[in-house]
Structure 1
Amino acid sequence: MAAYELERLNYRVRILEGNTRIGGRIHTHRFGPDPGAPSVELGAMRIPTHHRRTLEYIEHLRLGENVREFRTLLSDENAFLHTADGFVRIRDASGPLHRSFRRELARDRHPGSYDDATVAFGAWLTAVVGAIAPPDLRDALRADLRRQLLDLVARIDPAPYLTGAAGGRVDLHALFAAHPGIRAGCSGRLNGFLDDILTETSPALLRIEGGMDQLPRRLAERLRGPVSCGRKVVGVEVREHDVLVHSRTAARTVVEPSDFVVCAAPFPALRRMRLTGLDADKLAVLREVDYCPATKVAFHCREPFWQADGIDGGASFTGGSIRQTYYPPADGGRGRGAALLASYTIGREAERLGRMSPRRRHRLVLEELSAVHPELLRPGMVLEAVSTAWGHTPWTVGCAMRWGKDAAEVEEERVRAARPVHRLFFAGEHTSTTPAWIEGAVESALRAVEEIDGYAPSRRPAAALGIHDPAGAW
């Protein structure tokens, strides 16, 4: 993104990409070489409708006609939800969730007495956070509910926000939008994650039919300068009038000077490089920015067997080691099988899966998911399994910035992370106000371009080098 915008300003740009493919954390896997092969997103897979910059680039790159609705967790009432009573359909989950939540309140000796609507709020918020959040934030939610969140909700009467056939489900998006004050009952850690929780379960999500990787590929096609894949950057040396970049190919190490360098590599990957000329505060924030691991496992199935179960899309919360299971739309041709995103995990579960060998990882996911979908064990049903453990990928060492700070801490860290060092500039979702989304990568790229162009506009056309690994939205 930064390279494209710099070239539009007449800078000469070269991209060094350590990976053998472009796209960074946008990674569409296709089960076959043909255009009609089933595909699955092993990286970024959705775009909120309010992410204006991302959608503008999609239109600019003539991908607008490929934009489709993304069906997310809890969007299909025939999908499954893991409860204390076992796996139930989402349409039937209110009863088990409410009973479990009341038992939890009693076990914790919570002094409050709440009506059914308030219990429904607590039960469904617990279910959503349990499905999406890392384990530490699940614990934070339980503490927040006990402390004051339930009392705040009880005062506003959540009954008007009950939905579902039996009125046992709560429209969390509408409730929080109408009563933002109840967020005062959330700790700083949970409050910072709440926007992502609500966004990820929102009906206002989009995808690109044919693969999210069309976005970086269209950008790359428009570049005039070279994109050098397989060029691992091993060192960056900031000097007064230029920046030296040390990169390694299969045969040798190359040292290249450049007037400006944009580094979009996540900080955990940047920490593995030899860095010279960076000030103490920059080195400190490089150490402090932490990334959350994520692991995705996908199966190529002989047929979309879940459709016979009435599941047309969306996702199930399967719990255990595999957490979330998504049912991608069958964009490929008939008779080619169907893709299933069998497991999407973040945090400790993702790290545990990531440490396994791919074969063991795939076997564990198959065993656990077959408790929900026994069809997976039919002979010949699973044709192929693939996975990406982003916490163990050298170009990223994680999926996105780790959550868990309050708003003031996040902003302070963002400013420090984004600050340039002389002629070395920084981009990527970790330097943006929208971490964990493609929007953050776009926002940060545009900021870095503006900073470079404001640094020495009289030097154009200057040379700029990009250390490339764009952030993807999860």
Structure 2
Amino acid sequence: MSDENPADEPACSRRGNIGTRTVEPGSADGARKKVTILGAGIAGLVAAYELERLGHDVEVLEADARPGGRIHTRRFGTGPDAPYAELGAMRVPEEHHHTWHYIREMGLAGAVRTFETLLSHDETYLTTRSGHLRRRDAAPVLVDEFTQQLTHSQYSSNTVLFGAWLAALSDAIAPTEFRANLDDSLHHELLDLVEETDLTPHLVGSARDQIDLHGYFAENPHLRTSSSGRLARFLHDVINETSPELIRLAGGMDQLVHRLVERIRGRITYGQQVVGIGQRGDHTELHVRDGDTTSTRRCGYVLCTIPFSVLRRIPLTGFSAAKQDLIRQMRYWSATKVAVHCSAPLWERDGIVGGASSGGGRIRQMFYPARDETGRDGAILMASYTMGNDADVLGEMTPERRHAVVLEEAGRIHPELHAPGTVRDVVSSAWGEHPFTLGAGVTRWGKDSAECERERELAQLPEGRTFFAGEHCSSTPAWVDGAIESAVQAVAAIDAHAGHPAPTAATRSGVAR
């Protein structure tokens, strides 16, 4: 992707443009507004940056001791070459134009590198019932295991090969509870459609026993659009998570966070936990805990980026019943990551440089650092990345137990992990247990597109002078791009607000049901 093409940037992100309107600094209605932003995650920081560019006054209150929210780069040392682990967001799909814009805007285009996945290298491992096999050797076993699951065998050998590889990705990526309900759709609904297409051009590998899934779905987009809601959501996520066009930021994703913080003039105050929100018509009342002290603040405008998983535990007054119902009901999935600081990149002895393996058991995906991410101070193995109920299993353990379990299972693939002096440190993040997130992101798996859009609209709809942003208010939940998208839309709404009561979920027709 070119770093010089402004036509690729979303119009809503360019200076002076919010949405499709061109505005002058000082607000669309001529009023300079004072906006209190709750949360210094990426949504809150982007909103603060854009509101200040439009001439508004901003303050940011953050409950945690650091900015970034679910962007969390953990560094093992203080030097510029110290190894690091992405305990939160770690990759950006090519199609996420909002994120790409701010990467460029913050001067980070030179740090863009390819992010490698389960499908990037033949030397990495896949889990099968026969044990861990190199990806290049796995096809015959995957096909045999998949064939045994089919209730009828009228499919061509290429269709069965397709199903076997997609099932292998499902086993690696999808949470256990989701996979249990996916098999019927995958085995019949999707394979019936695939059987009607020509897979031959998409056979790859030295033995032509692998499938170029991304090329195939790009050529046959109707397979995704005609699938049921649950299956369509799964296909979208699998294609995104294993795309050859994902990128990372060399040096850490938190660079985007720190560049934004440096650009924001207003005060960002940490350790400020919101414990009550009241909508009072012409202002919003906040109850904020700072250590052992709780204070009450009267705010002209509030932008709340607090995840609904946390917001549902906070007393809310003056909010519509429809909004409060959605806050209580919105479903979040967990994610748990366990990173191991190793004295050396021991996996390179197996010919593995980057990419990912499927660990199976409780560890699910395992990611290896790229060559530029290893150095004299060792290397970081993302030994376990789990989602959903798989993440809860690890997340609910004590950190000590969690780390021991992951090291034991990862050692089945890489026995060198058990050698004395190999492991220097182990760290983890269980987002489902973190008090200021209580989840890694919203999940809309199993919902059709109309239902997803209704939920998004209601989530973002303001309550008086309290506006909302965060990935839960976006069309791309659980991704950085969704958080940024929602922030840009909230900035436009705040900037355009002329002081009269904003529509709420209870008053705006066609949204609340």
Alpha carbons 2:203, 2:210 under 8 Å: kept: yes
Q: Counterpart of 2:349?
A: 308
Higher relative contact order (CA 8 A, sep 6+): 1
1:326 matched residue in structure 2:
367
**2:229 and 2:448 in contact (8 A); partners too:** yes
Q: Which of 455, 458, 461 pairs up with 2:497? A: 455
Give the Cα separation in 1 of the matches to 2:331 and 2:289: 26
Q: Which residue of 2 aligns with 1:4?
A: 49
Counterpart-to-counterpart distance in 2, 1:78 and 1:126: 19
CA-atom RMSD in angstroms: 1.4
Residue 181 of structure 1: how far off its partner (Å): 2.4
The superposition leaves residues 306-344 of structure 1 with CA deviations (integer Å, 9 ceiling, x where unpaired) of: 111100101001110000000022545732011110000
Query: Distance between the aligned counterparts of 2:105 and 2:222, measured in 1?
Result: 39
Following superposition of structure 1 onto structure 2, how do residues 105-124 of structure 1 map, counting pairs within 5 Å? Answer: 105=150, 110-124=151-165
SS, match of residue 137 in structure 1? helix
Between the aligned partners of 1:250 and 1:439, the Cα distance in structure 2 is 33
| SS of equivalent to 1:156 | coil
Q: Please tell me whether residue 246 in structure 1 is matched to residue 287 in structure 2.
A: yes
Task: Report the counterpart of residue 466 of structure 1 in structure 2.
Answer: none
| Aligned match for 1:64, one of 96, 105, 109 | 109
Deviation per residue, 1:269-316 (Å, 9 max, x gap): 111111111000000110111100110000000000111110010100
1:147 and 2:188 aligned: yes
Q: In 1, are the aligned partners of 2:336 and 2:391 still within 8 Å (CA)? A: yes
Partner AA of 1:90 in structure 2 = R
- From 153, 176, 181, the equivalent of 1:135 is 176
Between 138-147 and 60-69, the greater mean CA deviation after superposition: 138-147
Counterpart mapping for 1:383-394 below 5 A: 383-394=424-435
TM-score, structure 2 as length reference: 0.86
Residues in 2 aligned to 1:147 and 1:330: alpha-carbon distance in whole angstroms: 41
**Quick check: 1:41 aligned with 2:86?**
yes
Unpaired segments ≥5 residues, structure 1 = 459-474
- Structure 1 residue ranges, 4+ long, deviating more than 6 angstroms after superposition: none
Partner of 2:38: none
CA distance 1:334–1:175, change in 2 (3 Å): closer
User: Secondary structure in 2 aligned to 1:72?
Assistant: coil
Normalised TM-score (structure 1): 0.93
* 1:22 Cα deviation from its structure 2 partner: 0.4
Report the counterpart of residue 211 of structure 1 in structure 2. Answer: 252
> Does residue 430 of the first structure (1) align with residue 472 of the second (2)?
yes
- Kept after mapping to 1: 8 A contact 2:354/2:371: no
Aligned residues: 454
Q: Does 60-69 or 404-413 show the bigger shift?
A: 404-413
Question: Structure 2: which 5+ runs fail to align?
Answer: 1-45, 501-513
Distance 1:61 1:280 in 2: 40
Deviation at 1:34, TM superposition (A): 1.9
**What is the match of residue 135 of structure 2?**
90
1:139 Cα offset (Å): 2.4
1:242-276: per-residue Cα shift (whole Å, max 9, x none)?
Answer: 11111101131121111111111110111111111
297, 301, 320: which one aligns with 1:279: 320
Output the amino acid matched with 2:283.
D
Q: Secondary structure at the match of 2:405?
A: helix
1:299 matched residue in structure 2? 340
Which amino acid is 1:436 matched to?
A
Residue identity (%)? 50
Report the CA distance between 1:184 and its aligned residue.
5.9
Q: Which residue of 1 aligns with 2:27?
A: none
The residue that corresponds to 2:207 in the other structure is 166
| Distance in 2 of aligned mates of 1:167 and 1:299 | 35
Distance 1:126 1:120 in 2: 10
Assess if the C-alpha contact under 8 Å between 2:163 and 2:187 holds in 1: no
In structure 1, the residue matched to 2:7 is none
SS in 2 for 1:356: coil
Greater Cα offset, 357-366 or 183-192: 183-192
Partner deviation per Cα, 1:421-472 (whole Å, 9 max, x = no partner): 11011100110011111110110000000000111289xxxxxxxxxxxxxx
Are positions 1:32 and 2:74 aligned together?
no
